[in-house]
């Protein structure tokens, strides 16, 4: 069992990190921080606007600073953006300051979940399926590298997934010496 100050959800876009995060935060009495939203609030601009103005590198710099800030304290539940694991420093802080749950999802499910979403800069291309396959090839090993637990939500409603994950966390994650 890995005692950790914070709980972190990682995985590709469309994995359900934010949706599951809301349900899980309520069950566990934690405050949910959506990393992309926290970056947007701090910057006063959407992720898409930041990508357009500063490029992906500018966004990733902001993301890295905000992740470090959110994980500096204790008792947070952080839903990361899909690319947060790309930075080696981010992976180090995730492992050091969080119990990391990787939420895998297949490309077909991503496509279905993201069909009406046109806000994601990396999907602003004609071949969304190929983009998601390419991202998965690059990022899946990084998600696995930081994961303390892999939890597949395929076919589960958010509340059912939160209940099952909360049960797993009760036996596999301790926060500050107390079982979650």
167 is in an annotated binding site: no
2 is in an annotated binding site: no
119 is in an annotated binding site: no
15 is in an annotated binding site: yes
Helix (H, G, I), strand (E, B) or coil at 53: helix
82 is in an annotated binding site: yes
What values do phi and psi take at 2, rounded to 5? -105, 105
120 is in an annotated binding site: yes
18 is in an annotated binding site: yes
113 is in an annotated binding site: no
Mention every residue, 6+ apart, whose C-beta is less than 8 A from residue 63.
35, 36, 39, 81, 83, 84, 87, 90
Give me the residue label for tokens 């981010």.
90
68 is in an annotated binding site: no
Give me the residue label for tokens 């979940």.
113
53 is in an annotated binding site: no
List binding-site positions for ATP.
14-19, 120
Task: Give the residue ranges of the annotated binding site for substrate.
Answer: 36, 60, 82, 139
Binding residues for Mg(2+): 18
Residues annotated within the binding site are 14-19, 36, 60, 82, 120, 139
């Amino acid at each position: 069992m890995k005692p950790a100050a914070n709980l972190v959800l990682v995985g590709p876009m469309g994995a359900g990190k934010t949706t599951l995060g809301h349900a899980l935060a309520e069950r566990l009495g934690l405050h949910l921080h959506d990393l992309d939203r926290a970056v947007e609030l701090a910057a006063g601009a959407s992720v898409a606007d930041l990508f357009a103005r500063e490029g992906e590198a500018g966004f990733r710099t902001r993301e890295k600073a905000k992740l470090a800030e959110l994980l500096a304290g204790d008792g947070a539940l952080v839903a990361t953006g899909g690319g947060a694991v790309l930075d080696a420093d981010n992976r180090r802080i995730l492992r050091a300051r969080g119990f990391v749950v990787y939420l895998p999802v297949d490309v077909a499910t991503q496509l279905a979940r993201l069909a009406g979403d046109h806000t994601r800069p990396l999907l602003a291309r004609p071949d969304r399926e190929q983009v998601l396959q390419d991202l998965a090839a690059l990022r899946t090993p990084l998600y696995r590298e930081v994961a303390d637990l892999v939890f597949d939500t395929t076919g589960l409603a958010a509340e059912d997934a939160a209940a099952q994950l909360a049960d797993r966390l009760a036996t596999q994650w301790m926060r500050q010496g107390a079982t979650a």
